[in-house]
């Protein structure tokens, strides 16, 4: 039996800030600490520099979820041009972009899937594309649905 998949389009705008905050907290808890710039930091920096950069939540990442990407591919120009000023403000090079959140339902259970793209913002190049899956939980258990997903993403970022 296949999974029924749907993208949380209407809820994505409201959920992504909470998801970003959860991801940031989970990654920071792995011990990476100040080696990373988190979404909240990027948003604060962009607000202080509105003449230089745009909204970090309007990067055009939808274009990353609708194409097949692999390491070495060039970023779509809309993403590259929106990302460059943000990474310049943070004096960084790499950005891990959550680009698509999907919930798969199988009967009375569901699980979250998050597509991530690691990019070299200066070179406008895709370095890695992957999907992270949360644990299957009972439908309606939304906090559990996303907490296991966040834990899996943090495990990817954790120093080994």
Cα angle at 14 between 74 and 70, to 5 degrees? 20
Mean pLDDT of 146-160: 84
Reported pTM: 0.80
- Give domain status of residue 2, yes or no: no
Residue 99: give the domain boundaries: 8-157
- Give domain status of residue 135, yes or no: yes
Q: What is the pLDDT of residues 108-120, one digit of tens each?
A: 888 889 999 999 9
- pLDDT for 3 equals 35
Chain centroid offset of residue 102 CA: 12
* High-pLDDT (> 90) share of the chain, %: 12
- Give domain status of residue 25, yes or no: yes
- Give domain status of residue 131, yes or no: yes
User: Which ranges in the chain belong to alpha helices (H)?
Assistant: 9-28, 39-48, 62-65, 77-89, 142-157
- Give domain status of residue 3, yes or no: no
User: Does 8 or 43 have the greater pLDDT score?
Assistant: 43
Number of independent structural domains in the chain: 1
Cα angle at 96 between 94 and 100, to 5 degrees? 150
Q: What is the pLDDT of residues 82-98, one digit of tens each?
A: 888 888 888 888 888 88
- Give domain status of residue 1, yes or no: no
- Give domain status of residue 142, yes or no: yes
């Amino acid at each position: 039996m296949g999974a029924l998949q749907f993208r949380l389009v209407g809820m994505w705008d409201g959920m992504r800030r909470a998801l970003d905050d959860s991801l940031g907290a989970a990654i920071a808890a792995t011990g990476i600490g100040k080696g990373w710039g988190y979404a909240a930091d990027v948003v604060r920096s962009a607000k202080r520099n509105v003449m230089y950069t745009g909204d970090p939540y309007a990067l055009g990442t939808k274009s990353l979820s609708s194409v097949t990407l692999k390491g070495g591919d060039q970023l779509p120009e809309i993403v590259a041009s929106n990302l460059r000023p943000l990474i310049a403000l943070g004096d960084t090079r790499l950005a891990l972009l959550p680009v698509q959140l999907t919930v798969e339902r199988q009967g009375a259970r569901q699980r979250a899937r998050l597509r991530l793209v690691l990019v070299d913002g200066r070179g406008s190049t895709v370095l890695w594309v992957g999907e992270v899956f949360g644990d299957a939980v009972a439908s309606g258990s939304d906090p559990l649905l996303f907490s296991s997903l966040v834990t899996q993403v943090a495990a990817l970022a954790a120093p080994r």
